[in-house]
Structure 1
Amino acid sequence: MDLILSSLEILARWDVMIALLVGSIGGVLIGAIPGVGPAVAIAILLPATFSLDPIVGLTVLLGIYGSSMYGGSIPAILINTPGTAVNALTTYDGYPMTTRGEARRALSLAYSSSFFGGVFSVICLVLFAPVLAKIAPMFGSREIFLAALLGIILVVVAHRGQSLIAAALACFGIFLHTVGLEPVKYSKRFTFEQSWLSSGVDLIVVVLGLFAISQAIFLLQGQDEKIRMTKLRGGLFQGMRELARHPRVATASASLGVLMGMIPGVGEFTAQFLSYTYAQRTSERPDDFGKGASEGLIAAETSNNAVPAAAMVPLLALGIPGEALTAMMLSVFYVHNVVPGPQLFQNDMDFVVALYLALLILNVLVLIFLLFATNQLIKVVKIPNRFLGASILTLSFVGVYSLRNSFTDCLIAACFGIFGFVLKRLNLPAVPIVLGMVLGGIMEVKLRAGMARVKTPFDFIDRPVAMILFIMILGVLILHFRYVWQQRKLLKEAKWQAKHKSTSFAAQMSRRKDYLLMERGKRLREKRSKYAPRLTDKNSPR
């Protein structure tokens, strides 16, 4: 109880409350605009948060991170266009409800499900915080190195079908971290005698280029779309009553969101599809899914909103981000000399709980805002794409230049913006680059610190937690290679079946031709036998 009271004292400040309000409402607005998303907004706001207190800056970013999915459901339901990539599954059942004239019902159900998922995850994590505080001291340098390595492997494995390119991009991110002065002896690496490379490649510059500037270019080269909005009818308060009729789906989806959020590199998409699959398989009417099923909408929105709070666990407990958004938040910690990891749970547990309580409060603020402001909020969807692109591009370069007052950083950000645009057009992931830069730095420092007491390779994993992490790494790699081998086997079988099918088809056509010739000959013989007696009688001598 004392821990919660001390955490509330941290939040009971006017600047923190304003940050919560701005972050939560701003996140909804940003999420409701298709093509922007929380990554772009956080990348633009990141330089401005460096001058704020840690709790204030993180509260703004947490507000955008946690509330953007609320807003993303609005265009997904009304115009079949997800506001954020995470809301893609919401269109499956949300838009069919709109076509039936049930737009308000779908929005109300989406808001209620998102609220339940967010509150459920925060309550779970506040209850488990003492357990995490006891586990955190078991992590030393070697354990954190192995956890960071596991994080990179999970990120690579999560991009199924693109594992090789994801691994290459993650290695490219690790290489970018090595440019400049190394952290122990301060010797220059990969600078090629260029003075502007001595300070290295800044993470925020790369983030702004890959996410904000690339998205701005993408919006500017497209066409402005004319959007027709559906008239909303009915009340927005009926979603809670309908959600209460499906407690099993809501609880299971929220639980899957919490579990998937704690695993680095997994995130909302896996939680959504697992929840949606579970809801469909256990439903009494599985055929309704994709046609406006309320259970499908509940599963999608509950699971994705349960992830943000859970994703803070590896970030706070181990200092390991699981995705690009938490990697950006990690830079705010470092700027203010607040180092996430085991020591944070031991020494500043009230700060950790304050962050979770901030997530709880912002869910309440967002729900109240949406229930009363939806009619005005849907107008945000009509903002032209090119205007958004020009605004994002301007704000991005202002943010980059404000970091170090360097024009060189603007050029680097522009290069990464073009690179990110190419990746976007080729449908390749940019997240592994950011996580490679962040986790590569953690791995280098912890590996150097851990090798001081290591004499044999086995000494590196001679402690229980290190052994468990090592076994998990081996297990993930074995399962991934088994999956790749099975996919290649299935591909070979498909090719063989296609070839065999074509051969058998030709054989069948040949047999059919023989059969038709045989039938034709049979009919001719029957005709001959039928007319043969007449011919015999006619030509016989009298």
Structure 2
Amino acid sequence: MELLLSSLDILARWDVALALLVGSVGGVVIGAIPGVGPAVAIAILLPATFSMDPIVGLTVLLGIYGSSMYGGSIPAVLINTPGTAVNALTTYDGYPMTARGEPRRALSLAYSSSFFGGIFSVICLILFAPVLARVAPMFGSREIFLAALLGIILVVVAHRGQSLIAGALAGFGIWLQSIGMEPVKYTQRYTFDQPFLQGGVNLIVVVLGLFALSQAFVLLTSDDEKIRMTRLRGPLFQGLRELARHPRVATVSASFGVMMGMIPGVGEFTAQFMSYTYAQRTSKRPQDFGNGASEGLIAAETSNNAVPAAAMVPLLALGIPGEALTAMMLSVFYVHNVVPGPQLFQSRMDFVVALYLALLILNVLVMIFLLSATGLLVKVVKIPNRFLGVCVLTLSFVGVYSLRNSVSDCVMAAGFGVLGYILKRLSWPIVPIILGMVLGGIMEVKLRAGMARVKTPWDFIDRPIAFILFFVIIIVLAVHARHVWQDRKALKEAEWKSRHRSTSFGARLLRRRKFLLKERGKVVRGRRKMLSRQSTELY
């Protein structure tokens, strides 16, 4: 009880209340604008949060992270265009409801499902906080190194079909982190005698370039679309009653979100598809999925909103971000000398609980805002792409220059913006670069600290948690190798069948041609006989 009161005391400040309001409302608005997304907004706001208290800055970023998925469901339901990438599955059943004249029902159900998923995950994590506080101190330098290595491997493995590209980009991120002064002997690495590289490559510059500037280039080069909105009719409270009729689907989907959120590199997409598949297989009417099934919409929105709170677990307990957004939040901790990890749970447990309570309050504020202002938010969807592109471009360069008042940072950010634009056009992942930079630094520091007491390779994994993490890494690599082998085998079988079909078709075509020539020959010979017979009769 004392812990709860001290956590509430941290939140009982006017600046924290303002951060809660700005984060919740701003995240919904950002999510409702197709093409922007929370990553761009967080990247732009990140330099401004460095001057705030940790709880204020993190509350703003968490508000945008958690509430953007609420707003992303608005264009997904009304115009079949997801506001954020994780709302893509919402279009499967949300837009068909709109097409048959039920837009308010779809929006209400999406809001209610998101609210349930967010509240469920926060409550679970508040209840698990004492367990995390006991487990976190068991992680030493070797365990954190192996956990960071597992995080990079999971990120690479999650990009199935692009794992080689994702691995190369993660390696590129690790290399970017190594540029500058080496932390132990203070020797220069990869600076090429350039003074501006001696301080290293700033993570915020890379984030703003890869996410914000690249998205600005995409918006500026895309055409503005004329959007026709559907008129909203009916109450928005009916979704809560409809959600209550499907408690099993909502609870299981939220559980998938919590579990997948705690695993680095997995995130919302895996949780969504697992929840959606479960809901479809256990439904009495699976044929309705994709055509406006309420269970499908509940599964998609409940699971993705349960992830943000769960994604804070590896960040707070081990200092290991699981995705790009939590990697950006990690920089806020470091700026204020608040080091996430086992020590945070021992010395600042009230701060951890305060963050979870802030997430709980954010979900309530977002729900109230959506139920009262959906009619106004619908108009945000109509903002032209090029106008958004100019705004994002301007704010991004302002944010980069404000970091160190450096023109070279702006030039570097522009270069990473072009790189991000190319990667997006090639449909290659960007997240591995950011996680490579963040986790690469953690791995280097922890490996050097852990090797001080290591004499043989076995000494590195002679403790229980280290051995479990090493065993999990081996299992993940083995399973991924098996999947790659199966995919290649299936591809070769498909190529062989395709070649076999083409050969069979060619053979049938050749036989058909011979048959036609043979029949034509018979006709020609018959005509010749008939002509010769006629000429004989004439003479």
Give the Cα–Cα distance (whole angstroms) in 2 for the partners of residues 101 and 124 of structure 1: 37
Q: How far apart are residue 505 of structure 1 and its match?
A: 3.5
Partner of 2:317: 317
Partner of 2:145: 145
Superposed counterparts of 1:23-62, under 5 Å: 23-62=23-62
Q: How far apart are residue 510 of structure 1 and its match?
A: 6.4
Q: How far apart are residue 503 of structure 1 and its match?
A: 2.9
Superposed counterparts of 1:66-85, under 5 Å: 66-85=66-85
Partner of 2:529: none
Partner of 2:264: 264
Give the Cα–Cα distance (whole angstroms) in 1 for the partners of residues 54 and 329 of structure 2: 10
TM-score (norm 2): 0.95
Amino acid at match of 1:270: T
Partner of 2:126: 126
Q: How far apart are residue 514 of structure 1 and its match?
A: 8.9
Amino acid at match of 2:65: Y
> The residue matched to 1:504 in structure 2 has which SS?
helix
TM-score (norm 1): 0.94
Q: List gaps (5 residues or longer) in structure 2.
A: 521-539
Partner of 1:534: none
- Give CA-to-partner distance per residue, 1:377-409, whole Å, 9 cap, x none: 111001111111001110000000000111110
Q: How far apart are residue 495 of structure 1 and its match?
A: 1.0
Q: How far apart are residue 518 of structure 1 and its match?
A: 12
Q: How far apart are residue 517 of structure 1 and its match?
A: 11
- Give CA-to-partner distance per residue, 1:235-272, whole Å, 9 cap, x none: 10000000000111100100000000000000000100
Partner of 2:431: 431
Give the Cα–Cα distance (whole angstroms) in 2 for the partners of residues 476 and 519 of structure 1: 64
Give the Cα–Cα distance (whole angstroms) in 2 for the partners of residues 27 and 482 of structure 1: 40
Give the Cα–Cα distance (whole angstroms) in 2 for the partners of residues 426 and 504 of structure 1: 36
> The residue matched to 1:382 in structure 2 has which SS?
coil
- Give CA-to-partner distance per residue, 1:60-87, whole Å, 9 cap, x none: 0000000000000000000011000000
> The residue matched to 1:101 in structure 2 has which SS?
coil
Superposed counterparts of 1:411-430, under 5 Å: 411-430=411-430
Give the Cα–Cα distance (whole angstroms) in 2 for the partners of residues 240 and 279 of structure 1: 18
Amino acid at match of 1:124: C
Give the Cα–Cα distance (whole angstroms) in 2 for the partners of residues 421 and 518 of structure 1: 61
Give the Cα–Cα distance (whole angstroms) in 2 for the partners of residues 115 and 515 of structure 1: 70
Give the Cα–Cα distance (whole angstroms) in 2 for the partners of residues 200 and 317 of structure 1: 27
> The residue matched to 2:291 in structure 1 has which SS?
coil
Give the Cα–Cα distance (whole angstroms) in 2 for the partners of residues 516 and 121 of structure 1: 72
Q: How far apart are residue 500 of structure 1 and its match?
A: 1.9
Amino acid at match of 1:261: G
Partner of 1:395: 395
Amino acid at match of 1:469: L
Amino acid at match of 1:255: S
Partner of 1:374: 374
Moved more, 320-329 or 505-514: 505-514
Q: How far apart are residue 173 of structure 1 and its match?
A: 0.4
Superposed counterparts of 1:381-530, under 5 Å: 381-508=381-508
- Give CA-to-partner distance per residue, 1:298-357, whole Å, 9 cap, x none: 000000000000000000000000100000000000000000001111111111011011
Partner of 1:208: 208
Q: What is the aligned-residue RMSD (CA, Å)?
A: 1.6
Amino acid at match of 2:225: E
Amino acid at match of 1:377: L
Q: How far apart are residue 165 of structure 1 and its match?
A: 0.7
Q: How far apart are residue 189 of structure 1 and its match?
A: 0.7
Partner of 1:532: none
Matched, 1:345 2:364: no
Moved more, 177-186 or 206-215: 177-186
Partner of 2:303: 303
Q: How far apart are residue 6 of structure 1 and its match?
A: 1.1
Give the Cα–Cα distance (whole angstroms) in 2 for the partners of residues 127 and 302 of structure 1: 19
Give the Cα–Cα distance (whole angstroms) in 1 for the partners of residues 418 and 449 of structure 2: 37
- Give CA-to-partner distance per residue, 1:20-75, whole Å, 9 cap, x none: 00000000000000000000000000000000000000000000000000000000
Partner of 1:244: 244
Superposed counterparts of 1:169-318, under 5 Å: 169-318=169-318
Q: How far apart are residue 221 of structure 1 and its match?
A: 1.1
Give the Cα–Cα distance (whole angstroms) in 2 for the partners of residues 444 and 243 of structure 1: 47
Count of residue pairs brought into register by the alignment: 521
Give the Cα–Cα distance (whole angstroms) in 2 for the partners of residues 149 and 253 of structure 1: 28
Give the Cα–Cα distance (whole angstroms) in 1 for the partners of residues 388 and 510 of structure 2: 63
> The residue matched to 1:161 in structure 2 has which SS?
coil
Partner of 1:529: none
> The residue matched to 1:234 in structure 2 has which SS?
coil
- Give CA-to-partner distance per residue, 1:396-450, whole Å, 9 cap, x none: 0000000011111000000000110000111111110000000000000000000
Partner of 1:535: none
Partner of 2:5: 5
Matched, 1:100 2:94: no
Q: How far apart are residue 513 of structure 1 and its match?
A: 8.0
- Give CA-to-partner distance per residue, 1:482-539, whole Å, 9 cap, x none: 000000000111111112223334455567789999999xxxxxxxxxxxxxxxxxxx
Give the Cα–Cα distance (whole angstroms) in 1 for the partners of residues 248 and 507 of structure 2: 54
Percent sequence identity over aligned pairs: 82
